[in-house]
């Protein structure tokens, strides 16, 4: 009996009993609707980011900035520093732009429709649907990587990703109704995260196993089918740690666009060129070894060179302050140079 109604009631009953407790989530059936600001903030932080990694950032952000108006008033640099370590820094720039748009153009109130949310910076199809469903109880089709995987298995979809996304989204849409849309979206994502996992799915305890064509096929883990991925190139470069001898270190502000855009960084050579690199100023440079770092689309070996030196066109920061505000790749280099994150 794989009709929509029984599939829905099976999964919602499981969610009522087994929903994860998360700092941004109201318990199912509590009648409490989470503040749209918190739903939005959590959704942006969770884009391509695990719950354990995002959680401490969510807690510190909501403590420092309890409302969207408070967030909108923050300095750019302060916000980027607070985001350091969370990755995908365009999210932080868009987060601030979005908060300011809500504060200035919407009287501090989040739009309560999917279309209105979609118009905000950093809010795409997924986040608009998620906020509409979870914060405003709109029957939106919320499709993230979890939901794609659950649909691919439930309906044994053979079309490889990413081409198959259109079909998976259509299938997810057939299950959305006016009844408890926020809980439905979160139930699907919880199922994907804890039971219908990418590897070793727990089909024996799955509340919708009886509806699952992937399980019936005998190879549920085969879904979703994925296309070939491009190989990841390797690059090399040099990072210079310049100290002033009084506890400060030189950093630069990176351009707003591109890799680590808008963040502070250590002065570096270009990445990908040969090993011959000229040190930026005459000083007592010594080699502190190298660090390895893996970005989404390339890996990097960064040689770390250290000196006490003076330089122009840099910002001198207390070392502890720099350490906390630097993206991880540069924090690693600074640790290699003898600092502590």
Partner DNA sequence: CACGCGTGGTT
Partner DNA sequence: TAACCAAGCGT
Choose which of 8, 25, 38, 336 interacts with DNA (CB under 7 A). 25
Choose which of 133, 189, 241, 266 interacts with DNA (CB under 7 A). 189
Stretch that binds DNA, among 63-71, 189-197, 242-250, 308-316 (CB under 7 A): 189-197
Closest to DNA by CB, 23 vs 247, is 23
**Which of these, 104, 99, 126, 87, lies nearest to 38 by C-alpha position?**
99
Closest to DNA by CB, 295 vs 316, is 295
Choose which of 87, 116, 237, 267 interacts with DNA (CB under 7 A). 87
Peptide bond into 162 cis (omega under 30): yes
> In this structure, what token pair is assigned to residue 313?
């066109």
Q: Contacts from 287-291 at CB under 8 Å and sequence distance 24+? A: 288/241, 288/336, 288/337, 288/338, 289/336, 290/336, 291/329, 291/332, 291/333, 291/335, 291/336
If one asks whether residue 149 binds DNA (CB under 7 A), the answer comes out as yes
* Least distance to DNA, CB of residue 312, Å: 26
Angle in degrees, CA 246, 251, 253, rounded to 5: 150
Bridge pairing between strands 315-318 and 248-253: antiparallel
Count the residues in the chain: 341
H-type alpha helices, the chain: 4-18, 36-45, 51-64, 68-72, 76-83, 90-105, 114-118, 125-136, 145-154, 165-173, 181-194, 213-216, 319-325, 328-336
- The torsion defined by the Cα of 37, 41, 47 and 52, in degrees rounded to 10, comes to -130
Distance CA 131, CA 249 (A): 41
Stretch that binds DNA, among 9-17, 206-214, 287-295, 307-315 (CB under 7 A): 287-295
Check residue 254 and report its DSSP letter.
Answer: P
If one asks whether residue 259 binds DNA (CB under 7 A), the answer comes out as yes
Closest to DNA by CB, 22 vs 283, is 22
* Least distance to DNA, CB of residue 89, Å: 4
Whether residue 207 contacts residue 6, with contact meaning beta carbons closer than 8 Å, is answered with no
Closest to DNA by CB, 139 vs 262, is 262
Residue carrying the six token digits 């998620």:
130
* Least distance to DNA, CB of residue 282, Å: 30
Choose which of 26, 41, 46, 208 interacts with DNA (CB under 7 A). 46
Stretch that binds DNA, among 63-71, 186-194, 280-288, 309-317 (CB under 7 A): 186-194
Closest to DNA by CB, 226 vs 253, is 226
Whether residue 120 contacts residue 98, with contact meaning beta carbons closer than 8 Å, is answered with yes
If one asks whether residue 56 binds DNA (CB under 7 A), the answer comes out as no
If one asks whether residue 7 binds DNA (CB under 7 A), the answer comes out as no
Choose which of 121, 137, 235, 335 interacts with DNA (CB under 7 A). 121
Strand-pairing partners, residue 200, are none
If one asks whether residue 122 binds DNA (CB under 7 A), the answer comes out as yes
Residue 340 appears among annotated catalytic residues: no
If one asks whether residue 214 binds DNA (CB under 7 A), the answer comes out as no
* Pattern 295-324, DNA, x by CB under 7 A: xxx---------------------------
Closest to DNA by CB, 127 vs 303, is 127
If one asks whether residue 67 binds DNA (CB under 7 A), the answer comes out as no
Contact residues for DNA, defined by CB under 7 A: 22, 24-25, 42-43, 46-53, 84-90, 94, 121-128, 130, 144-146, 149, 162, 186, 189-190, 192-193, 198-200, 226, 229-230, 232, 258-261, 293-297, 327-329
Give catalytic residues, as residue numbers.
43
């Amino acid at each position: 009996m794989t009709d929509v109604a029984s599939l829905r009631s099976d999964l919602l009953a499981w969610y009522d009993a087994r929903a994860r407790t998360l700092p941004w989530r109201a318990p199912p059936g509590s009648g409490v609707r989470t503040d749209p600001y918190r739903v939005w903030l959590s959704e942006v932080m969770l884009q391509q980011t695990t719950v354990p990694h995002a959680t401490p950032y969510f807690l510190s952000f909501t403590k420092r900035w309890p409302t969207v108006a408070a967030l909108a008033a923050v300095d750019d640099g302060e916000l980027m520093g607070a985001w350091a370590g969370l990755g995908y820094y365009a999210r932080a720039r868009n987060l601030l732009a979005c908060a300011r748009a809500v504060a200035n153009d919407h009287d501090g109130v989040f739009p309560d429709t999917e279309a209105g949310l979609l118009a905000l910076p950093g809010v795409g199809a997924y986040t608009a649907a998620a906020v509409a469903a979870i914060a405003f109880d709109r029957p939106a089709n919320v499709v993230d990587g979890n939901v794609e995987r659950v649909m691919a298995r439930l309906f044994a979809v053979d079309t490889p990703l990413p081409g198959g996304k259109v079909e998976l989204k259509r299938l997810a849409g057939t299950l959305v109704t006016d009844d408890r849309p926020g809980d439905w979206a979160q139930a699907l994502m919880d199922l994907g995260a804890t039971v219908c996992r990418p590897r070793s799915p727990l089909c024996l305890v799955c509340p919708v196993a009886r509806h699952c064509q992937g399980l019936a096929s005998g190879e549920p883990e085969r879904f979703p089918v994925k296309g070939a991925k491009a190989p990841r190139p390797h690059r090399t470069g040099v990072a210079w740690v310049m100290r002033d001898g009084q506890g400060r270190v030189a950093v630069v502000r990176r351009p707003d666009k591109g890799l680590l855009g808008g963040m502070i960084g250590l002065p570096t050579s270009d990445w990908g060129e040969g090993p011959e690199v000229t040190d930026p100023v005459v000083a007592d440079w010594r080699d502190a070894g190298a660090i390895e770092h893996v970005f989404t689309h390339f890996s990097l070996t960064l040689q770390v060179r250290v000196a006490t030196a003076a330089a122009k066109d840099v910002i001198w920061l207390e070392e502890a302050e720099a350490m906390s505000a630097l993206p991880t790749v540069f924090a690693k280099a600074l640790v290699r140079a003898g600092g502590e994150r």
